[in-house]
Chains A and B, each alone.
Chain A
């Protein structure tokens, strides 16, 4: 098995290509494991009976059995699982929702743009703001700016997204805020349909979602950079006569940012699997709310679909992180 897999990988040429190919093969394996675990959890833990749920409370046993057959639930577990995987792999068919018969693949793909819009926009904000504040704080430790920034970061970490969103709405909502500034929830429009409405509907959710991440990143960046600035290679670079700016930006930050890249990859991957609270409060039709509702309803096809999507993004984000590592840190080589 190893040999048969290794041979085609060797034919890919550069070590980086081979590395990526190997990770992609692992990704498929991991997705299978994730889907199997989600499947088993659904059956192992007490939950609802999907056939009874779908049939309704007044349904007799005959009706429930008809529904069980329709939902493929009267087959052995392994058969159900392989049927599901076969449909996903061969037809990109994730089944249909037990609660409303909606096609799961359609649900996921139609909601993905909203989730990507929300996650990427917030990611840009928290990365820029968090890293910048972290660097500035590290360069002026114990200064007034540092104290204010780190105090603010603590607040940002402590404030739950849900609470913060409600407070902002109470202050700024068009319909009931103190100042009627931001559009009502549910005003999200896809970028391709109305770029202006897309931006205005997402601006506040981006800021709110990014706040706690930015706070964590600022503290992380500050701590890493402070540690790096104490390293010998920084002193060597300064002794060689390089400017402070060049030493910090070219050498120290580059070395200090690797943990940020790791965290960023994971955080972004997780958010692409759905930002449940932000999507719920601002009524952004993304994957997060879909997965939350599915868990509440013990709706296996939707749970499976959202779990697979989330796992896919997390794995891809990890691969990208490893590649970026190699680019920014000369000590790391992909092999």
Chain B
């Protein structure tokens, strides 16, 4: 390498001239300020959720903590929806769709009128087509509570 450098010594001295080519005075202060202002404007335009995801990429622990929190909330909500005495069964979506939650309420040991039906939930329960078809057969059993304004077999 040294022999190569010696061979081009004169050229290298000439190229050293380029080191003296400098931008106008104060240029680098302006350059840094310009870069900063452009980035600040970009940050201001960025939506909050994008900044959140960006942080998750840096700190995976934050993402893990958030996932753990969501999982915890899910477990708590499932726990609350089951019988606090441990003898009942959670209402399944099928129960709700078939309108059998009243039976479920009984199974859960809740006093009639104090469960979901007691706070008027049956008034807003939307019956399914299947429920309508079988309503006339099931009404007498007391399992089915028709929503207000609905009547079976009449227009």
The answer on A and B forming one complex is: no
- List the interface of chain B (C-beta within 8 A of A): none
Interface residues of A (CB under 8 A from B): none
